[in-house]
Amino acid sequence: MTTRTILISGASIAGPALAYWLHRYGFQPTIVERAPALRDGGYAVDFRGQAHLTVLRRMGILPAVERARTGTGSTWYVNSAGKPQAELPADLFAGDVEILRGDLSRILYDATKQNTEYVFGDSITSLTEDADGVHVTFERSAPRRFDLLVGADGLHSNTRRLAFGPEDRYVRHLGVYCAIFTTANHLGLDHTGHAYRTGGKLVAMYSARGNTEARATFYFGSPLLDLDRRDAARQQDILAEQFTGNGWESDRLLGEMWHAPDFYFDSVGQVAMDSWTRGRVALLGDAAYCPSSLSGMGTGLAVVGAYVLAGELAAAGGDHRATFARYEEEMREYAAGCRKMGDGVAKLMIPQSRFVAGFLNRYYRLLPYLPGKNLAANMARRTAENITLRDYRQLTGR
């Protein structure tokens, strides 16, 4: 092989998924992660269709994912008094298997920690490529040299910035911000969620981990804000400014926000790039082709992308040039379809007009009785399955 050592930036989902396969194929993965430890909390993410489930099954983690599944059923839109008004079916949001992002991250970490070097609390500061590899410097660790570098560090990818240029060349803001944190299940939700929508805003709660806790989620429409992404206090102030007096459970959840152990706040965006590879650097998951957090496609897309990238590297005997060309060829149409699914979701989920919000609320009441009621869920499933996976298992001997 011409490639052995591979540095991966990002320890959330895409990075550990890639590390799993790289080790299986005889490569030596190292993961660097800015956070001091694995991050808990976050969204519930879902897998749908045979492509997603096939990858999880071949990794051997599908049983663990199913044991940790949320089991969330229908989500209900409610009025200001909390009275259910319209039911949205589970398949629209949860797919075949839904799991908390933090739980999935832990499963992937446990599956890779024995064979992958993890470096927490550090970040790449520069990279210099030559004919034989990539020289990387870090905020804390000593400089090192690797054969390849893969950026799996999300929507605001540091690797993408260093290797491809500024974020604003590739990230399109969809006009929405989101926040999520763990809270008490004070509504006694039983494997379900409640959502309250007004013009330009949506606040929701859904039960988690066997109804022992809940996730509070907030969405609001806004142009891109000049914010430090690591200034949680300022982000919480903005959320309070947006939702105080909004109605339903907004004020109570805002009160609990200040004490949440896992507060997360970010813009909702998509990534579009002409190429995900350059020299000895490749991008994976949201760093390369984020379809937006509202699409329901990002996690499955990242896991499939990791499977393809590692498999093609093994098939090419470590030749990164041939690998990167095949990776782009295999994933380009699939990623574009997933991104298209996310395009219109923001306007439908968080309409800026109270009139449109009211109209949608009334429409959802009638949805169970309308023809084509499963259209959105069926479209999502077709999109998730729109790839033919190569079988690389013969390359591992297992």
Amino acid 51: pLDDT: 87
226-233 CB contacts, 8 Å cutoff, 24+ apart: 229/156, 229/266, 232/263, 232/265
Q: What percent of the chain has pLDDT over 70?
A: 87
- Between 226 and 344, residue with greater pLDDT: 226
**What span, in angstroms and rounded, lies between the C-alpha atoms of 229 and 266?**
7
Residue 310 is given by DSSP the state: H
Percent of the chain with pLDDT over 90: 67
Q: Which tens digits make up the pLDDT trace of 319-339?
A: 999 999 999 999 999 999 888
Q: Which whole number is the average pLDDT over 258-269? A: 93
Q: Summarize pLDDT for 85-116 with one digit per residue, the tens.
A: 877 776 666 668 889 999 999 999 999 999 99
Q: Out of 2.40.440.10, 3.50.50.60, 3.40.50.2300, 2.60.40.10, which CATH number does the structure's domain 5-395 have?
A: 3.50.50.60
Q: How far apart are alpha carbons 76 and 194 in whole angstroms?
A: 5
Mean pLDDT, residues 241-262 taken together? 95
**By C-alpha distance, which of 393, 158, 160 is closest to 276?**
160
pLDDT at 279: 96
Q: Tell me, what's the pLDDT at 72?
A: 83
The DSSP-derived string for 237-254 is HHHHHHHTT-STTHHHHH
Q: What is the pLDDT of residues 337-353, one digit of tens each?
A: 888 877 666 666 665 65
pLDDT attached to residue 296: 77
Q: For the chain, give the number of residues.
A: 398
The answer to whether the CB of 280 falls within 8 A of the CB of 254 is: no
Q: Which pLDDT does position 110 carry in this prediction?
A: 97
pLDDT at 41: 72
**Do 374 and 91 meet the contact criterion of CB atoms below 8 Å apart?**
yes
The model's pLDDT over 6-51, given as tens digits with 9 standing for 90+, comes to 999 999 999 999 999 999 999 999 999 999 999 887 788 888 888 8
Given a cut of 50, is residue 398 above it in pLDDT? Answer: no
Longest pairwise C-alpha distance within the chain? 65
Cα–Cα distance list, 280 to 133, 146, 323, 370 (Å):
7, 10, 11, 52
Computed over every residue of the chain, the mean pLDDT equals 88
Bigger pLDDT: 293 or 163?
Answer: 163
Alpha-carbon distance of 209 to 182, in angstroms, equals: 11
pTM of the model: 0.91
Q: Which helix (H) or strand (E) holds 345?
A: helix 345-349
Tell which residue, 197, 191, 254, has the closest CA to residue 220: 197
Torsion over CA: 196, 341, 275, 286 (sign): positive
Q: Give the model confidence (pLDDT) of 184-224 as tens digits.
A: 999 999 999 999 988 889 999 999 888 999 999 999 989 99
Residues 380, 398: Cα–Cα separation, whole Å: 32
Cβ burial, residue 299 (10 Å; 0-12/13-18/19+): buried
Which amino acid, 17? Answer: A
pLDDT score of 358: 62
Q: Is the pLDDT of residue 258 over 90?
A: yes
Phi (first) and psi of residue 108, to 5 degrees = -65, -40
Please report, for the chain, the start and end positions of each structural domain, with discontinuous segments joined by +.
Answer: 5-395
Q: Specify the pLDDT at position 373.
A: 46
Parallel, antiparallel or unpaired: strands 277-278 and 264-271: unpaired
pLDDT tens profile 142-162: 999 999 999 999 999 999 999
Least confident of 11-25, 125-139, 153-167, 373-387: 373-387
- On whether the CB atoms of residues 310 and 362 are closer than 8 A, the answer is no
